[in-house]
Amino acid sequence: MSPVTYELKDNVGIITIDNAPVNALSHAVRAGLVDAMNQAQGDDSKAILIQCAGRTFIAGADISEFGKPSQDPILPEVLDTIEQSSKPVIAALHGTALGGGFETALASHYRIALKNAKVGLPEVNLGLIPGAGGTQRTPRLAGIKAALDLVLSGTPISASQAQEVGLIDHIVEDDDLAKGSFAYAQQLIKQEAPVRKTSEIAIDTARFEVGIFDEYRKTYAKKLRNQDAPQKIIDCVEAATKVTFEEGMKQEREAFIACRSSEQSASLRHIFFAERQAAKVNDLPRDIAARDIQNVAVIGAGLMGGGIAMNFANANIPVKVLEISAEALEKGMATIAKTYQGMVKKGRITPEQADQRISLITATTDYDDLKDSDLVIEAVFESIDVKKSVFTKLDEVCKEGAILATNTSYLDINEIAGFTKRPGDVVGLHFFSPAHIMKLLEIVRGEHTSHDVLASVMKLARTIKKVPVVARVCYGFIGNRMLRQYQREVQMCLIEGASPEQIDKVMMDWGMAMGPLMVADLAGLDISYKARQALTPEQKGNPKSYRIPDVLYEMGRIGQKSGSGYYIYDPETKARTADPSVLDIIEREAQSFGVTRKPMSDEEVLNRLSLALINEGFKILEEGVAQQAGDIDVVYCFGYGFPKYRGGPMFVAQTRGLTKVYEDICAYRQTHGDEYWTPSALLEKLVTEGLSLDEWEKGQHNG
């Protein structure tokens, strides 16, 4: 049966799309829409309504058709049929009219919506551009600026915002869209309202500045650096002001097809699906019930504890913050208040919202106050002894069934769980700094972490709008374990001949949010130095991998906060400049290791840094620390500034080709020895057996 039905009710032809769950524009829907439109042309209807059953209007393309050859009728043709109707067509929107769904509405002659409906063109988020007139019809209805903002941001807007800019004609105030849209159709019939073809609206060139397109090009060259889709969107919207609708549609189609087959879009689509996959724990029984989390406590109000507490207040969950002393508590609470004030200043929240959130955070130094907490997250100093004292105390005071979590970056969660008599209730919740902003949440399951605890924290992650990824216990879990190898290779490149500016530039040009040495200066060389002091020589690894930052620290060059580190910083503007004396330091250290520095190509820098990440990623996968390769990509993209349009380190390995990756790693082993360049056994196996990562993962799940 077709998911599209047609009925004539009085003089209104009603087309209903019923394609659960989100009325995606599958082939059957597209074909059904054309049939229904044809039927409506030949009957007694005087107006045609397009509406959807279920919870939403068409929410976009059918993702199961992604990557397959397109089947006629393609959407632009369907929408052309709608627009060419001799009778007025009204799209009635509820839920989220997105992508092709909203383009269907734009091709209709009138648009009406429930007040809580949202509309948008999110294609850019997947490295695509709207491919069925979105770039041509939006500016005709809304003007250039509103169109550019809608299409480039990829963020849906509310029905009332859409009405303000002319994208929606009428809002149904009560919740009865069927009744409201039918009445609207009859009103149009009565008024003999014309067929209003969006494609025939002239864009008023006097309503925008000529320079607007170049301004947006510049802004988006920064905002979505290196990405093709946003630039193509701007070109297409500009074309709408210069050429005929037909020519504009042709340009849009060509750009859409180019984007659809691009590596950037493949990468962004990979990350989109990987994020959703990572939110599931593969071996969790389906019927597992999550524990109720109404009250949260955070131990430690330092850099992480304060940010973690804010996550809960932001989600309207009361949170207690416990510190070791009243002074530390006061300092921590003041920082929280200051952060909220900063958000108010930037216009992100209102002063009332800030007050309300702060009122949800209670300060205490008394463990007895934690006896009713459903979840306690420890964020004290990274020392196993301090963690031991905290968890022993929590075990004494917390109620039965409370979840006891640690934010440790490196420590053994099984050992921490062993400090309690309830290891099943202990889990790692590894937030990233700044904890109220960074999306990633590594959920570290200990040997004994119970299924319902895992299910509870996965659910909680969604409540506080984090992107969760499950990891098993190992040194550094997924993200920091890979980061260590990346940073080690940065140091090796410095010792062998690269400069800090070269390394940072290569990685930034490649798409990383920041260069590794800029990050080091920002985070503070003192923090990493102190962390290193707690390590065993084995954990610290080859002195070449940390000697330079040790020397910089010992010279008092601890990064941005001291005015110098790998770079020099202007005390006022914080502007960064290269410092030739750092090169002298590097040169000296290289000599002390007996290394003669030589110029290094940008290609080698990129290859070594990315392969260091990739090889460790494969090791993480082979040990079962990550559930699947996509999880590693999600960790790196959401926690470490890896460009999503490259899909994450494991996706890069696949696009480069596993054999090439393996051969390059083997070549480095030849020149640099096997201290760091032993290829992962899994990578070796895949290459030898000619298997792709996907094939191997499928085999793992089935076997």
Residue ranges in contact with ligand NAD by CB under 6 A: 299-305, 322-324, 328, 332, 379-382, 386, 389-390, 407-409, 431-433
Q: How far apart are CA 461 and CA 279, in angstroms?
A: 9
SS3 string of 260-288? HCCHHHHHHHHHHHHHHHHCCCCCCCCCC
Measure CA of the first residue to CA of the last residue in the chain; give whole Å: 38
CA distance to 320, 428, 461, per residue, from 372 (Å): 11, 20, 21
96-98, strands of its sheet edge to edge: 96-98, 118-120, 157-158
Quick one: 136 or 406, whose CB is closer to ligand NAD? 406
Quick one: 182 or 431, whose CB is closer to ligand NAD? 431
Instruction: Judge whether 7 counts as a catalytic residue.
Output: no
Q: How far apart are CA 661 and CA 683, in angstroms?
A: 9
Crossing angle for the helix pair 602-622 and 649-656, nearest 10 degrees? 110
Q: Name every residue whose Cβ is closer than 8 Å to that of residue 63 and which is 6 or more positions away in sequence.
A: 24
Q: Which of 7, 77, 83, 103 is catalytic?
A: 103
Considering the complex, what minimum distance in angstroms separates the CB of residue 287 from ligand NAD? 33
Q: How far apart are CA 428 and CA 395, in angstroms?
A: 16
Quick one: 250 or 331, whose CB is closer to ligand NAD? 331
Instruction: Judge whether 689 counts as a catalytic residue.
Output: no
Quick one: 324 or 358, whose CB is closer to ligand NAD? 324
Quick one: 308 or 609, whose CB is closer to ligand NAD? 308
Q: Shortest CA distance to 74 belongs to which of 110, 104, 112, 106?
A: 104
* 660 class by beta-carbon count within 10 Å (0-12 exposed, 13-18 middle, 19+ buried): exposed
Considering the complex, what minimum distance in angstroms separates the CB of residue 389 from ligand NAD? 6
Task: Determine contact, residues 266/647, Cβ cutoff 8 Å.
Answer: yes
Task: Determine contact, residues 405/428, Cβ cutoff 8 Å.
Answer: yes
Quick one: 386 or 595, whose CB is closer to ligand NAD? 386
Considering the complex, what minimum distance in angstroms separates the CB of residue 209 from ligand NAD? 43
Q: Which of 7, 65, 77, 123 is catalytic?
A: 123
Quick one: 102 or 432, whose CB is closer to ligand NAD? 432
Taking the alpha carbons of 536, 537, 538, 540 in that order, is the dihedral positive or negative? positive
Q: How far apart are CA 59 and CA 437, in angstroms?
A: 28
Considering the complex, what minimum distance in angstroms separates the CB of residue 433 from ligand NAD? 3
Q: In the structure encoding, which two tokens stand for residue 229, read together? A: 């889709």
Return the number of other C-beta atoms located less than 10 Å from residue 158's C-beta. 17
SS3 string of 108-173? CCEEEEECCCEEECHHHHHCCCCCCCHHHHHHHHHCHHHHHHHHHHCCCEEHHHHHHCCCCCEEEC
Which residues are annotated as catalytic?
103, 123
